[in-house]
Structure 1
Amino acid sequence: MDLISFVFICGLNFIHINLSPKNMIYQKSNPFYLTASTLLFLLLQGLAVAFQADARVETRHLSQERKVDNYTAQKQQSQSEKQKIKSVIDLQAKALNEENIDVYMKTISQSSPQYSLTVEVLTELFQQYDLKYEITDMEFLTLAQNEAKVKIIQTTTKIKGPAFRDNKTVIIHTLRKDNGEWKFYLTALDSVNYLN
């Protein structure tokens, strides 16, 4: 039973008792009694309505708090996923600078169509050149539950090796979750700006 029903029933009982024949004599001799009874009943009804309004406001407030909590949780999860992806990108850049093929290949999904070719290209690249790779900017283009697209700007400069043009490239990486871990799936060159 809700509060309004309870107060309404109490009020009806109050009126029933006060309008009983036994109490009518007292009510006739005291004209303020009926007015006081009526006021008390109205007061009880008003309290019931106020309590119900407070309950609605509280329910609405709790609903809004849940929405804020859900948004905050989603935002925190999104930030957590972005941090994991950034860590993988940083690890790959570090592996490039250290010329560590094993670590580099651990950042790539084995289901990537570029997996085999990457091993061949890196092996030859590391034999001929000593290059410095620096990520100067990173932007998340999309982030879904199992796939993300990230645009990076990478500057590559030669430390030693045959002729090489230093460059600043814009690269679009597609990462996918592979057994719960973010891995590179596709890498596409968007643009190259030669620095020398």
Structure 2
Amino acid sequence: MKRPLEASAEGRGRIVGITDGVFAIALTLIVLEIRVPAHEAIHSEGELLAAIVALAPRFLTYALSFLTLTIFWFGQQAQHGLIARSDRRLATLNLCFLAFIALLPFSTDLLADFLEFRIAVLVYWLNLLMLGVTSSRAGAMRRKTASWQRVSTRKRNARSICASSRRKSCGRSAPYCHSSMPCSASASSWSCS
């Protein structure tokens, strides 16, 4: 039985799944705040156009938040691609990040309703700041874990390939054997910069 803090590929898959789910819900919620004008209040083309123009702050904050969410989603996908396994610390950081993603529809709605007030802008930007802080912290942890895994995997792969090429080529002719020599030398001093 695995210990709770032990890294696992299953944990990585669960993190990716919940991340995609929270992003999908947040992306949906921000558009739901743009409401179609009430039919009873509209009696002409001009009134409909005026009602749509009055929704401009909502469309602006929707576009801003949608773009922000997609940028963070692409970043998360790139970071998740770097790790093979996840542990509880990484999951906890990811859940903190997702808490601020889930808060973004609220701060977007607040900004759309009170665009002229600095407090609404401050709440929105604080939300974005916390997204950046938690994403950066989780990214640093992922990079640390990923670079260790990447280096050990590359060393193992390089040694395997070089050993295989030496076995195949040295038995047949000397020129091939000499061409694999630099590979075997670099496998022992392989490093990830």
Higher relative contact order (CA 8 A, sep 6+): 2
TM-score with structure 1 length normalisation? 0.27
TM-score with structure 2 length normalisation? 0.27
Say which structure is richer in helix: 2
